Amino acid sequence: MDKIKKTVRYNSLLHIYGNLLSKTQYAFADAYFSYDLSLSEIAEAHDVSRSAVEDAIKKALKKLDEYEKELKILQKNEKILELVAKAKDATGNEKIEALEEVERIIYSYGI
């Protein structure tokens, strides 16, 4: 996964699951992915070692990936956006099918 895709993915996952991380894990991962700060810059700002920052970010990413693997919220959101775009261009039955699929995904959230 290239750096831009990784950054976009983890920013999205932080937005969805960030509250499930420790405050430190969230702060360091957010600084790294949202503000493009280096590990050294984050370490200096928080008066901790560079390896402590790296370790916290690695743990945060592992947790984010685990949450997404189980809950698939990002995957479902991306599918909804894809189906909405498809529905905008579709007519008749194709439009209805796309919108019904969106409805099924939304219901799968348990809302």
**Residue 35 CB contacts under 8 Å (≥ 6 apart), including other chains:** none
Query: Is CATH 1.10.645.10 what the domain over 3-71 is classified as, yes or no?
Result: no
Would you list the domain boundaries of the chain? 3-71, 74-108
| Global pTM value | 0.83
pLDDT, tens digit (0-9, with 9 covering 90-100), for 20-70: 999 999 999 999 999 999 999 999 999 999 999 999 999 999 999 999 999
Total number of residues shown for the chain: 111
The burial class, CB within 10 Å (0-12 / 13-18 / 19+), for 33 is buried
**Residue 97 CB contacts under 8 Å (≥ 6 apart), including other chains:** none
